[in-house]
A = this chain, B = another copy of it.
């Protein structure tokens, strides 16, 4: 169960063993990653696939950023589809559309990059290397639009490999190995974890944490969610994270609050597992705690302040003057600690947030990404919480306001359809009241 030196030993043994598979005398010295990739796609690759793939993976790890970029450009140029072949296949298809000509067309439309990546994946650590390639790729994509097609290919493969059916849900707790726990500290994206003591509190008996893992990345959580078991819907995150909070008997709670969901792998950007995670965790919790009646998030509203700062004139039901006044006050340092000031903006802000979440859209979908995610999953916007997060980050993003999205299992499908077909924001009557007037 616990880690002994055997598993490490095994790695070095596997290394020793694999050396046998290395290409011995035939192995040219100082080959570039580009040269290795070419070999991997030829007969050398068929004979010595795993050994070559290992060299590519090792080589990638040693590249400087400029070399990484050069490598990706190389993939874009030298491993793309063959335009001449496509033209031929298109012509053949047009002449006689058939399963055969279609099949041929499909074949030439798949770039050799995909096969290359499949072969790189033969190596131990191959999947991790490819995820890392995409992480780098995503970070330079905006400045290098010629890499979009490389991104499409890699993303296509990763989507296939990280199919939900291959993911394993694991509970994370204080018995989890430290090398995984430290990644939670590193990856937490919503409410920063302040060291090991804070982490430990988040794994207490009345807390739960779950993550998805993929068999090929056993030490890397893909996404994780932190849950607090409480009585009644939480309206504020501070008490949940407080150092000296009173622990509850989890068998006596009635509500599971999902207060933080963090994606861990930038290389898997755009490949979504979040909705599966929430639903699966709801299922697990229901079995462990039959006493739970409610499942809800306590979520940030990351886009609110940015949006509000960009408005002009009247906003929602707020007059231009009133809106300006609110905007101005929110620029004062520590306004929320001044009871009077805070009281003066409470009502207009609650209205504004409700309006923002319900009415403000971009291409028919809610402007706020968190809202988009939960509504898209079939949740209901349940409540907004005044000064629910008074951390620097909370004030900056949303003037301290947080939202509850409520997961009612029997309504998920209905809500999702309403959202998908009519782009309807399913919200509680309380939210609708806030939207209507101020």
Contact = CB atoms under 8 A, between A and B. Distances in A.
Interface of A: 1-10, 13-14, 16-18, 20-21, 23-26, 43-44, 46-50, 81, 83, 86-87, 90, 93-94, 97, 99, 102-103, 105-106, 109-110, 118, 121-124, 126-127, 148-149, 152, 157, 159-161, 163-166, 169-181, 195-196, 200, 208, 213, 215-216, 218-219, 276, 279-280, 282-284, 286-288, 376-378, 409-410, 412-417, 420-421
A279 B118 contact: no
B25 A410 contact: yes
Nearest to A376: B46
B81 A102 contact: yes
A20 B281 CA distance: 11
Given A50-B276, A102-B81, A105-B109, A173 B26 contact: no
A47 B278 CA distance: 12
A424 to B, nearest CB: 12
A217 to B, nearest CB: 11
B164 A17 contact: no
How many copies are assembled?
Answer: 4
A215 B166 contact: yes
A277 B144 CA distance: 40
B17 A416 contact: no
A417 B47 contact: yes
Contacts of A166: 121, 127, 161, 215-216
A258 to B, nearest CB: 15
